[in-house]
C-alpha cells in the first residue's frame, strides 16, 4: 500500500519525504487556504520535492473552466495529478484528461455508484472520504471494501485512495481491505510509528544501558 501525505505545508512534507516512506502528496483548496501561500507556488514547490504523484485540485465547477485550470496545473511539474470533484462536469473533465494520458484523482466520493462512474470515466484514483462518512454514522471503511470488491469484479484499474483518514485504525483496516493508497495528515502519519510496548521496551533498554556505564562513541 502506498502512503500519500495530505498536506500543503512544505516543511512537513519535506520532513516526511526524507524518511523515504512518502509515495505522493494530496492537496485541496482547504489545505491551500490553511498554508496561507499562493496556490500555484505551493504545488510547484511540492512537486519539486516529492517525485511521486502530487494531486492538485481544480477550483472551477464547470467543465470548460476545469479544463483550462487543468492545462495550467499540469505545467507545474511532470508528476502532477489533476484532482476533480465527483460531479457530472468533474467526470467529463476526467474523461477528457485521460484521453490525453493526464492522471486524474476523482475526489469527494461517498458511494459505490459514484466509484463505479469514476472508474468508467477512466479515473486514475478514486478518493472515498471515509472519515466524513463515519461522521454521518455510516461505515466509511465498508465503502472501501465494497469498492475493492467491485473494482476486482470488473478489472477496473482505478486505484482506491482512502481519504479523510481520522485515526490509525483507518490505515490498518485500509491495508487489510486492499486499498491501493492511503493519504493521511502528518499527525496521523507519525502516530503509525507509536506503540506503548515499543516505548516501554526502549525505556527498559535505556535504563539498563545507563547502568553499564558504557558508550558506543
Q: Which three cell numbers stand for residue 37?
A: 501561500
> What is the model's pLDDT at position 77?
97
> What is the model's pLDDT at position 17?
96
DSSP 107-146: EEE-SHHHHHHHHHTT-SEEEEBHHHHHHTTS-HHHHHHH
Domain range annotation of the chain? 2-212
Residue of 78, 83, 200, 211 marked active site? 83
Q: Is 200 a catalytic residue?
A: no
Q: What is the pTM of this model?
A: 0.95
Architecture of the domain whose range is 2-212? Alpha-Beta Barrel (3.20)
> C-alpha 33: how far from its chain's center?
18
Do the Cβ atoms of 50 and 80 come closer than 8 Å? Answer: no
Give the pairing type, strands 2-6 and 181-184.
Answer: parallel
Neighbours of 204 (CB within 10 A): 10
> What is the model's pLDDT at position 98?
98
The partner residues of 163 in beta bridges, in order of sequence, read 129
Q: Which residue has the cell 485504525?
A: 169
> What is the model's pLDDT at position 158?
98
* Helix or strand (DSSP H, E) at 205: helix 196-212
Interval 5-23: pLDDT, tens: 999 999 999 999 999 999 9
- Mean pLDDT calculated for residue range 55-66: 98
Question: Looking at beta carbons, which pairs linking 38-43 to residues 24 or more positions away fall under 8 Å?
Answer: 40/72, 40/76, 42/8, 42/10, 43/73, 43/76, 43/77, 43/80
The partner residues of 82 in beta bridges, in order of sequence, read 56, 104
Torsion of CA 8, 101, 22, 25, to 10 degrees: 10
- Mean pLDDT calculated for residue range 186-206: 96
- Mean pLDDT calculated for residue range 133-138: 96
Interval 172-184: pLDDT, tens: 999 999 999 999 9
- Mean pLDDT calculated for residue range 16-40: 95
Average pLDDT of the chain? 97
% of the chain with per-residue pLDDT over 90: 100
> What is the model's pLDDT at position 147?
98
Signed CA dihedral, 74, 189, 134, 146: sign only: positive
pLDDT-derived band at 162, boundaries 50, 70, 90: very high
Interval 86-133: pLDDT, tens: 999 999 999 999 999 999 999 999 999 999 999 999 999 999 999 999
Tell me how far apart the alpha carbons of residues 26 and 32 are, in angstroms, rounded to a whole number.
11
Amino acid at each position: 500500500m502506498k502512503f500519500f501525505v495530505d498536506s500543503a505545508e512544505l516543511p512537513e512534507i519535506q520532513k516526511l519525504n526524507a524518511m523515504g516512506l512518502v509515495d505522493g502528496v494530496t492537496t485541496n483548496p482547504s489545505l491551500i487556504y490553511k498554508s496561507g501561500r499562493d496556490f500555484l507556488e505551493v504545488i510547484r514547490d511540492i512537486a519539486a520535492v516529492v517525485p511521486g504523484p502530487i494531486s492538485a485540485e481544480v477550483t472551477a465547477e464547470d467543465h470548460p473552466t476545469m479544463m483550462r485550470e487543468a492545462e495550467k496545473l499540469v505545467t507545474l511539474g511532470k508528476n502532477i495529478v489533476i484532482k476533480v470533484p465527483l460531479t457530472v462536469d468533474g467526470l467529463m473533465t476526467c474523461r477528457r484528461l485521460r484521453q490525453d494520458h493526464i492522471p486524474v484523482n476523482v475526489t469527494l466520493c461517498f458511494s459505490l455508484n459514484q466509484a463505479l462512474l469514476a472508474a468508467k470515466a477512466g479515473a486514475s484514483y478514486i478518493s472515498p472520504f471515509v472519515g466524513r462518512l463515519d461522521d454521518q454514522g455510516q461505515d466509511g471503511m465498508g465503502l472501501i471494501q465494497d469498492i475493492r470488491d467491485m473494482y476486482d469484479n470488473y478489472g477496473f484499474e482505478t486505484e482506491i485512495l482512502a481519504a479523510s483518514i481520522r485515526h490509525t485504525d483507518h490505515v490498518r483496516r485500509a491495508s487489510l481491505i486492499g486499498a491501493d493508497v492511503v493519504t493521511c495528515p502528518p499527525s496521523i502519519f507519525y502516530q503509525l510509528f507509536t506503540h506503548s510496548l515499543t516505548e516501554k521496551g526502549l525505556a527498559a533498554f535505556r535504563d539498563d544501558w545507563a547502568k553499564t556505564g558504557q558508550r558506543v562513541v
